[in-house]
């Protein structure tokens, strides 16, 4: 008994002890002497890649190795900073931390430089910063032309993504959102596959179409935010105003229309059916690392926007689309359901490895929408966790597709066969990624999906039960792919296919570890944003 008691005490003390330790570090950082450093930290993280871009542009085109190394260094710095942020972020405190600004930027329109992070942002910042160096390493050997421009564009892209997740000013938010569009367009259009031009234009126009609506909605919000001299783009202020009774922003009709404008903008990014068709094309044509960024981060920009703007700023508009459509019931949940089932079935029919993964992304993002539409703690927590997990898992999947494409120069699932005996390590890692993606408990994919479903079942039973079809189909297409690519007798064409190399393993291992850690100990991530979730729930509750 004594031993048992001691053991229990140890277990119960050690884990919180570690957390408390981190919190102490966080408190230390609040020390005035550290304040400047703390204020600058976030900005530093965002703009270091931009500095890196300038550095790369100044290097001679011929010194390719140097360019790669410099890029790697400039993506590793944000990663280190993101880890520092993640550790020192005060988990128990509500609200935004590491706030910088507001500093006036464009005074004529009261546009400010205002950044800061809450639990949701810091999680996605970590994801973005982690995928940065991984993508650089993944691009080490297989970008053959214009490495300098590629790396420069990539660094610009990273600044856009990091800034987007930290922006607290709506205009700044929009600028960063658009900032990711241009480099992405060139990265697909120049370094992509045979149909790159088509894919790049499709991606560009689609997103542009969405962001134009978003821009209109944004201007509408700005114009309604107060008297001409008190108008603002400041997100926290706008959120507060939108919940103030009688304010123009709190008007239901206004919220419905503005909600729709933002929603379509983000829906294209997520992507939500029927705005999803750019995704398979873009993924198939994009080079491996860009697919990773696309699935890992860019899709999350859509769902992040939904949480940050649509849910927090327009709770009544949200309520209308969740309840106000009479027999249609919860239209947002319906979209989530369609994404899950439609994406899964489409994936089942694919024979292109990369296209299959792309459609599976559509299906898995459906769980995020379903969880968000539940508007309860299990649903929203599950959705946010699913964002992060999908970022990690889909990144793994695209890297793995890249590995085999670099060797066999095609992605036709039926064209392989029996690779399991030739490439055991590659097969093992792929199995891990597939299992994580199909929601095997013990790996991260499960927790997010299960929480989303548990939350959703509370609100809409039938849709949730029907959504579980997606889980079975998900297992079906992954296992079928596993069988066609890795099982059976070895295709004689690939008798001398080289095993996955150290560089490729290096890109996959951190993601694999995260998949396992978050599957076993999801609180590691959930504790980061549980306060933010309860804040959001308060906002939703207050305005109803």
Partner 1 sequence: MVIPLISLILLCPLAAFAIFGLLSLAKLRFPRQDYLSTAAMLIGLVCSLLLLQEVVPEPAPHTVEWISLGSVTFSMGFYLDSVTAIMLIVVTLVSSLVHIFSIGYMHGDARYPRFFAFLSLFSFSMLFLVVSDNLLGIYIGWELVGLCSYLLIGFWFEKDSAANACKKAFLTTRVGDIGMFIGMMMLFTKFRTLSLYGEGGIFALAASLTTGDMVWLSIAGVLIFCGAIGKSAQVPLHTWLPDAMEGPTPVSALIHAATMVAAGVYLTARMFPILTETSSLVIAYVGGITALIAATIAIVRFDIKRVLAYSTISQLGYMMLGIGAGSYVAGLFHLTTHAFFKALLFLGSGSVIHAFHAMHAHHSGDEHASHDSGHEHGDHGVADGVAGAPQSGETTLSGSDIPADQDMRNMGGLRRKMPITFATMLIATLSISGVPFIFSGFWSKDAILGGVLERAMEWGSVHHYILFGIALFAAGITAFYMFRLIFMTFFGEPRNQEMHDMAHESPKVMTVPLIVLALLSFPVVNILWFNDAYVTPPAQPHLHAPQHAGIIDDSIVTETQQREKVAGAPQSGETTLFAFGFSKAPTSFFGISEAVAAEEGEHDTHAEEGHHSPAHKIAMVLSICVAGLGILFSWLFYHKRTLSAESVATSFRPLYNLFWHKYYFDEFYNGVLVALTVWKARLFAQFDGSVVDGIVNGVGRLTRDILAAFIGFFDNRVVDGTVNRVAQVTWAVGGRIRRIQTGAIQTYLFVVLAGIVLLILIFRAL
- Is 207 strand, coil or helix? helix
How many C-beta neighbours within 10 Å does residue 528 have? 22
366 and 343 Cβ atoms separated by less than 8 Å: yes
Closest distance between partner 1 and the C-beta of residue 103, in Å? Answer: 13
Q: How far apart are CA 312 and CA 330, in angstroms?
A: 18
Rank residues 13 and 244 by Cβ distance to partner 1 and give the closer one: 13
Strands (E), 381-512: none
* 176, burial (CB in 10 Å: exposed 0-12, middle 13-18, buried 19+): buried
Q: How far apart are CA 200 and CA 209, in angstroms?
A: 14
Residues 6+ apart with CB under 8 A from 13: none
Rank residues 256 and 490 by Cβ distance to partner 1 and give the closer one: 490
Residues 6+ apart with CB under 8 A from 363: 339, 340, 341, 342, 343, 344, 347, 470, 473, 474
Rank residues 56 and 131 by Cβ distance to partner 1 and give the closer one: 56
Rank residues 320 and 504 by Cβ distance to partner 1 and give the closer one: 504
Rank residues 41 and 511 by Cβ distance to partner 1 and give the closer one: 511
172 and 111 Cβ atoms separated by less than 8 Å: yes
Q: How far apart are CA 366 and CA 56, in angstroms?
A: 38
Rank residues 242 and 289 by Cβ distance to partner 1 and give the closer one: 289
100 and 115 Cβ atoms separated by less than 8 Å: yes
Q: What is the DSSP letter of 286?
A: S
Closest distance between partner 1 and the C-beta of residue 138, in Å? Answer: 18
**Angle, in degrees to the nearest 10, between helices 353-374 and 278-285:** 140
Rank residues 11 and 33 by Cβ distance to partner 1 and give the closer one: 11
Closest distance between partner 1 and the C-beta of residue 62, in Å? Answer: 13
Q: How far apart are CA 457 and CA 367, in angstroms?
A: 12
Closest distance between partner 1 and the C-beta of residue 116, in Å? Answer: 21
Q: How far apart are CA 15 and CA 147, in angstroms?
A: 45
Rank residues 41 and 289 by Cβ distance to partner 1 and give the closer one: 289
Q: How far apart are CA 86 and CA 94, in angstroms?
A: 15
Q: How far apart are CA 191 and CA 201, in angstroms?
A: 14
Closest distance between partner 1 and the C-beta of residue 472, in Å? Answer: 6
Closest distance between partner 1 and the C-beta of residue 510, in Å? Answer: 13
Closest distance between partner 1 and the C-beta of residue 539, in Å? Answer: 15
Closest distance between partner 1 and the C-beta of residue 125, in Å? Answer: 22
Rank residues 251 and 491 by Cβ distance to partner 1 and give the closer one: 491
Closest distance between partner 1 and the C-beta of residue 57, in Å? Answer: 7
């Amino acid at each position: 008994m004594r031993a048992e008691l001691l053991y229990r005490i140890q277990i119960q003390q050690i884990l919180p002890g570690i957390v408390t330790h981190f919190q102490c570090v966080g408190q230390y950082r609040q020390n005035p002497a550290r304040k400047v450093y703390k204020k600058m930290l976030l900005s530093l993280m965002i703009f270091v890649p931009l500095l890196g871009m300038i550095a790369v542009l100044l290097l001679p085109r011929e010194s390719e190795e140097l360019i790669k190394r410099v890029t790697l260094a400039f993506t590793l710095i944000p990663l280190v900073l993101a880890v520092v942020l993640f550790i020192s972020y005060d988990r128990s405190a509500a609200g935004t931390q590491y706030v910088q600004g507001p500093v006036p930027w464009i005074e004529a329109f009261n546009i400010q430089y205002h950044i800061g992070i809450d639990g949701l942002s810091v999680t996605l910042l970590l994801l973005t910063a982690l995928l940065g160096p991984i993508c650089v390493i993944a691009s080490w050997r297989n970008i053959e032309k214009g490495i300098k421009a590629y790396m420069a564009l990539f660094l610009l892209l990273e600044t856009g993504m990091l800034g987007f997740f930290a922006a607290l000013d709506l205009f700044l938010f929009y600028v960063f959102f658009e900032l990711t569009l241009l480099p992405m367009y060139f990265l697909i259009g120049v370094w992509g596959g045979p149909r790159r031009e088509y894919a790049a234009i499709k991606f560009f126009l689609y997103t542009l179409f969405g962001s134009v609506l978003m821009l209109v909605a944004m201007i509408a919000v700005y114009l309604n935010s107060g008297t001409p001299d008190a108008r603002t783009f400041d997100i926290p202020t706008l959120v507060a105003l939108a919940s103030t009774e009688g304010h123009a922003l709190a008007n239901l009709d206004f919220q419905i229309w503005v909600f729709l404008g933002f929603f379509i903008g983000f829906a294209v990014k997520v992507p939500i059916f029927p705005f999803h068709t750019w995704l398979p094309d873009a993924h198939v044509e994009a080079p491996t690392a860009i697919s990773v960024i696309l699935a890992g981060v860019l899709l999350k920009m859509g769902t992040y926007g939904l949480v940050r703007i649509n849910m927090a700023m327009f709770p009544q508009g949200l309520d209308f689309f969740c309840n106000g459509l009479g027999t249609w019931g919860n239209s947002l949940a319906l979209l989530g359901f369609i994404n899950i089932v439609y994406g899964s079935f489409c994936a089942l029919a694919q024979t292109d490895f990369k296209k299959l993964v792309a459609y599976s992304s559509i299906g898995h993002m459906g769980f995020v929408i379903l969880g968000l539409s539940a508007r309860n703690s299990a649903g929203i927590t599950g959705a946010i966790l699913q964002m992060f997990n999908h970022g990690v898992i889909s990144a793994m999947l695209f890297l793995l597709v890249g590995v085999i494409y670099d060797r066999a120069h095609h992605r036709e699932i039926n064209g392989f066969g029996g690779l399991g005996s030739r490439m055991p390590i590659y097969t093992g890692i792929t199995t891990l990624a597939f299992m994580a993606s199909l929601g095997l408990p013990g790996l991260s994919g499960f927790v997010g999906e299960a929480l989303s479903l548990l939350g959703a079942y509370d609100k809409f039973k039938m849709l949730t039960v029907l959504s579980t079809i997606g889980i079975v189909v998900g297992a079906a297409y992954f296992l079928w792919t596993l069988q066609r690519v890795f099982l059976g007798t070895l295709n004689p064409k690939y008798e001398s296919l080289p095993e996955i190399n150290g560089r490729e393993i290096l890109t996959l291992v951190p993601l694999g570890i995260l998949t396992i850690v978050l599957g076993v100990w999801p609180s590691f991530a959930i504790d980061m944003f549980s306060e933010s979730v309860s804040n959001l729930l308060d906002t939703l509750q207050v305005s109803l």
